[in-house]
């Protein structure tokens, strides 16, 4: 008798299908490069779903994520371990992953809005003028509005005498082996340290971060920080300190005459 009741219970769960559990989590925000778990599960943990699909609506059109090559190697399901757990795990998030994701079973659907934050540089509308001296070092600040954002397409360029050259991450010309990012635990701090300054370092410096825009056929938005660096002969000394305050960055310069 008990065996028959058990079999009837199993049949009932199969016929009833997977009714999705209701929760209030409808929006999730992560940073580029992070991982995310999009929760979806049957309300009855003993239920086995008959049909499961995950679709994304990033571009306004529904696409099954497991058929989308952009997610290749970045997706994982857990229903082979726990049949009622239909959650989707996405690793190495990209800005273009942002959008609506739909978990569908034979019975119900559940939508989750995923926001993926990329780096947007602190806005600076004017070129900053900085004066330093030969032989010294300088930090040119460049930070994301959220210091935990991870940049994509970071580039520092040097302009002098009608010629642009990339100096970071590709190090070229006389800047080779003299430039590096300020080292700390904040991925959104893109500030550049230039050491052992020479008069040839005088010119314009640009920090840029490119981010692919949604729904624009690959168009890009470019953010810029610009500096004009003036190099003076080593007649006085300077002490330059990088300052980070409330998500922004600045330079403090103190100068004094050399001891005679």
pLDDT, tens only, 43-78: 887 777 778 899 998 777 889 999 999 999 999 998
The verdict on 193 and 95 lying in the same domain is no
**Radius of gyration of the chain from its Cα atoms, rounded to whole angstroms:** 27
- Cβ 235 vs Cβ 258: under 8 Å: yes
The verdict on 57 and 109 lying in the same domain is yes
The verdict on 79 and 169 lying in the same domain is no
Classify residue 201: in a domain, yes or no.
Answer: yes
Residue 223 has pLDDT above 90, yes or no: no
Q: Phi-psi region for residue 197, left (φ > 0), alpha (ψ -120 to 50) or beta?
A: beta
pLDDT at 107: 83
Q: Residue-wise over 100-134: b if at least 16 C-beta within 10 A, else e?
A: ebbbbbeebebebebebbbbbbbebeeeeebebbb
Classify residue 122: in a domain, yes or no.
Answer: no
End-to-end alpha-carbon separation of the chain, Å? 105
Classify residue 247: in a domain, yes or no.
Answer: no
Q: Using alpha carbons, select from 71, 207, 79, 217 the residue that is nearest to residue 142.
A: 207
Classify residue 259: in a domain, yes or no.
Answer: no
Classify residue 12: in a domain, yes or no.
Answer: no
The verdict on 95 and 143 lying in the same domain is no
- Better-predicted residue by pLDDT, 18 or 130: 130
Q: What is the mean pLDDT of residues 3-19?
A: 50
Taking all residues of the chain, what is their mean pLDDT, rounded to a whole number?
79
User: Which residues partner with 64 through β-bridges?
Assistant: 55
d(CA 118, CA 146): 9
**Parent domain of 138:** 128-242
Q: How confident is the model at residue 258 (pLDDT cuts 50, 70, 90)?
A: very low
Q: How confident is the model at residue 160 (pLDDT cuts 50, 70, 90)?
A: confident
pLDDT at 16: 59
The verdict on 139 and 34 lying in the same domain is no
Residue 182 has pLDDT above 70, yes or no: yes
- Residue 259 is encoded by which pair of tokens? 């001891």
Q: What is the mean pLDDT of residues 211-216?
A: 42
Residue 125 has pLDDT above 80, yes or no: no
Look at the chain and report how many structural domains it folds into. Answer: 2
Residue 91 has pLDDT above 90, yes or no: yes
Contacts 24+ apart (CB under 8 A), 249-254: 249/122, 249/141, 249/142, 249/143, 249/189, 249/191, 250/141, 251/128, 251/130, 251/138, 251/139, 251/141, 253/130, 253/131
Q: Residue-wise over 12-22: b if at least 16 C-beta within 10 A, else e?
A: ebeeebbebbe
Classify residue 98: in a domain, yes or no.
Answer: yes
Predicted TM-score (pTM) of the model is 0.60
- Residue keyed to tokens 């030969």: 134
């Amino acid at each position: 008798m008990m065996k028959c009741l058990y079999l009837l219970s199993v049949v009932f769960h199969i016929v009833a299908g997977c009714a999705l559990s209701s929760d209030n989590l409808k929006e999730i925000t992560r940073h580029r490069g992070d991982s995310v778990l999009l929760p979806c599960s049957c309300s009855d943990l003993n239920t086995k779903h008959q049909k499961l699909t995950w679709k994304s609506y990033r571009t306004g059109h529904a696409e099954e994520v497991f058929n989308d090559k952009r997610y290749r190697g970045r997706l994982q399901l857990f229903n082979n371990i726990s049949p009622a757990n239909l959650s989707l795990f996405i690793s190495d998030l990209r800005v273009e992953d942002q959008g609506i994701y739909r978990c569908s079973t034979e019975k119900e659907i559940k939508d989750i809005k995923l926001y993926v934050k990329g780096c947007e540089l602190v806005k600076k509308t004017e070129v900053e003028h900085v004066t330093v001296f030969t032989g010294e070092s300088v930090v040119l600040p460049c930070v994301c509005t959220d210091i935990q954002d991870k940049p994509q397409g970071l580039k520092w360029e040097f302009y002098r005498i009608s010629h642009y050259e990339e100096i970071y991450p590709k190090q070229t010309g006389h800047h080779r082996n003299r430039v590096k990012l300020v080292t700390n635990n904040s991925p959104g701090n893109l500030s550049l340290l230039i050491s052992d300054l020479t008069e040839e370092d005088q010119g314009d410096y640009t920090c840029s971060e490119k981010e692919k825009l949604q729904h624009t056929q690959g168009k890009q938005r470019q953010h810029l920080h610009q500096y004009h660096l003036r190099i003076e002969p080593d007649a006085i000394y300077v002490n330059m300190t990088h300052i980070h305050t409330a998500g922004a960055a600045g330079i403090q310069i103190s100068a004094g005459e050399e001891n005679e």
